[in-house]
Chain A
Amino acid sequence: MRVWSTPALLVICLSGAGLLGGTGLFLGALFLHVAPANAVSRQYQRELDAVVYPEFEQNWKLFAPNPLQQNLTVDARVQTIDGDSRVTTRDWVGLTAEDVAAIRGNPAPSHLDQNMLRRALDFYRTTHPEQDGAPVGTRGRLAEEYLERIALQRFGRTVGGERVVQIQFRFGSAAIAPPSWSPEQTDTAVQYQELPWWPVEEADYRGLG
């Protein structure tokens, strides 16, 4: 072992103690964050959040406590206007169905198909917990604009040669049938939740190409 001078030893010991303490505190914070809410994590909520967010997020409840047991889908339809101000309501388009078609047979699905709409829907639902669709907090508005822009990017500015003026979403939920050997009975019909029509303006298309 090297023989250190006193100042060198001081520097090493002090920084070593700091590093060990910092590492211990950091890992302790991560542990308390992923553990179920408890007396300690409630007491130090603010400090724990300061360590974990935004750069050390931990989302490891992978398929837990239960895996998702429904196929969730997003459909959208638009209303267009022609030169004589006549409004046409177009057919529903399965946006999720488009994603699924792109994923089928693809060994490396794109985040564009596998995550974008799926997580936008998740974001919308967590920011709109009420049945009447009222947004919660500033993020509710973000979720609405994001969802709308994802759909508008796919529809484009015109449908059938006419300008898009309104858009409507419906969310489908279809329970996955239990395994064939399970005695459970489940209704697998799609349940729809329809959102109101949202106006579409030129500004909503900004940057969508």
Chain B
Amino acid sequence: MSGPIPPGAADPRPADAGADADVGAAADARPQPDGPAPPTRFERLFDAFTARSWLIRQAAVVRIGIALAWGGFLLREWPNRRELYGDRSPWSAELAGRLIGETHAFTVLTWSDTRLWFELVYHLGLLAAVLLALGWRTRATGVLFAVTAVSLQNRNVLVGDGGDNVVHLMALYLVLVRCGRYWSLDARRARRRPPRGPVGEPRAVLDALATMVHNCGMAVIAVQVVLIYSTAGWYKVQGTRWQDGTALHYPLHLDYFTPWPALSGLLGSSLLLTVLLSYGTVILQVGFPFTLANRRLKNALLALMMAEHLAIAVVLGLPFFSLAMIAADAVFLPTAALLWTERRLAAGLAARTAARRGSGRTDAPAAERGSEERQPASG
């Protein structure tokens, strides 16, 4: 754990990089002005890759979002679970077995055909989703979440849609990353534990390995989201309906995606709005990856994409798809906004705690809690 740094101490990192990253145990001593020679460029890169966990709060948001999307889905489908993935499914265990024999997809559900085993896996999946959202023993819970989610989906791949695909991929990627360092029960427990002393080298090496795996995992998540939008956008560019600006009209009149026909009709009734939204969607999806070079533009487009997914959730009747997409998009949320949210939440919590204790001193503890939360969690 890095000690408190006096303001103005020579810190080679850009001011906002520290906010993006969690400094692991391997970065014990930072160069001081009167210390040894300043680190070379390679040493700084080495440090950035092996000692800092990048996008650590974004990882927490992705975790919470994906867990809520899949957990909400499992709850919603609870009455239909046996028809979708279980013993009553038209996609019988025998049919599934024949397909899986070809694809070699992973599922624990083919280990046994009994109802009991299916119910166990489904409810373990539900439990894993709740615990993952809360961040309880996050790494182990994440593995259970991935195994159960992938098992259920692969038992019947023919009932899934884009949302299931996103959850499937993110569940696997989340296993690799430190998504429980913030906004989790794990983080709360770590804060309450006495600070850890200096760590020995074997432990430090393991920490560095875990940090590297985390950083690679976050890169995979980020690139995956870019690939989703690029694919969706660039193939649309080639479509005549997207070119003539009427594309939006058609999904709004597909019976399977119009829970509210009057609303869909209203949205598609205006020429200008239809063309604007059709062109806007393509520009957004194609352009987003390129705006990553510009923080402000990226944030503006990110907000637009999330808004569009909220609209899709309602208008096309795809709430779980949209939630999963928003959760995946969250990997690009600005750290400043997450820190602001974190302080607001912490202040709100502290105020409520203080109010319950009948104490009037709400402001000071709130501020303290806020700054305390920004300390990296250990473990």
Contact = CB atoms under 8 A, between A and B. Distances in A.
Contacts of A206: 92, 94
Given A23-B219, A69-B250, A12 B259 contact: no
B249 A8 contact: no
Contact of A67 (B90, B102, B247): B247
Interface stretch (B42-50, B57-65, B344-352): B42-50
B92 A1 contact: no
Interface in B44-103: 46-47, 49-51, 76-77, 80, 82-84, 87-95, 98-99, 102-103
B95 A142 contact: yes
B77 A111 contact: yes
A206 B95 CA distance: 11
Given A142-B95, A178-B249, A19 B213 contact: yes
A104 interface: yes
A80 to B, nearest CB: 20
A19 B212 contact: yes
A55 B106 contact: yes
A31 B289 CA distance: 14
Contacts of A115: 158-161
Interface in A169-190: 176-182
A181 B77 contact: no
Interface in A184-209: 206-209
Interface of A: 1-2, 4-5, 8, 11-12, 15-16, 19-20, 22-23, 26-27, 30-31, 34, 53-69, 71, 96, 99-100, 103-112, 114-116, 118-120, 123, 138-139, 142, 145-146, 149-150, 152-153, 176-182, 206-209
B144 interface: no
A2 B28 contact: yes
A208 B83 CA distance: 8
A12 B209 contact: yes
Contacts of B99: 139, 142
Contacts of A146: 90-91, 95, 158
A20 to B, nearest CB: 7
A65 B242 contact: yes
A178 B271 CA distance: 12
7 contacts: A1-B27, A8-B205, A54-B154, A63-B251, A66-B241, A99-B256, A112-B159
Identify the 10 closest CB pairs spanning chains A and B, nearest first: A65-B239, A149-B90, A54-B105, A64-B235, A60-B231, A66-B239, A67-B250, A64-B236, A23-B216, A150-B90
A114 B220 CA distance: 31
B250 A176 contact: yes
A31 B317 contact: no
A205 to B, nearest CB: 10
B209 A61 contact: no
Given A1-B39, A64-B232, A179-B271, A111 B159 contact: yes
Given A2-B26, A110-B80, 14 more contacts: A1-B51, A12-B50, A15-B209, A15-B212, A16-B212, A19-B212, A55-B105, A55-B106, A66-B242, A66-B247, A103-B259, A105-B259, A111-B77, A206-B92
B356 interface: no
Interface stretch (B128-136, B221-229, B357-365): B221-229
B90 A61 contact: no
B112 interface: no
B239 A64 contact: yes
Given A145-B95, A146-B90, A116 B220 contact: no
Contacts of B165: 57-59
Contact of B236 (A31, A63, A106, A110): A63
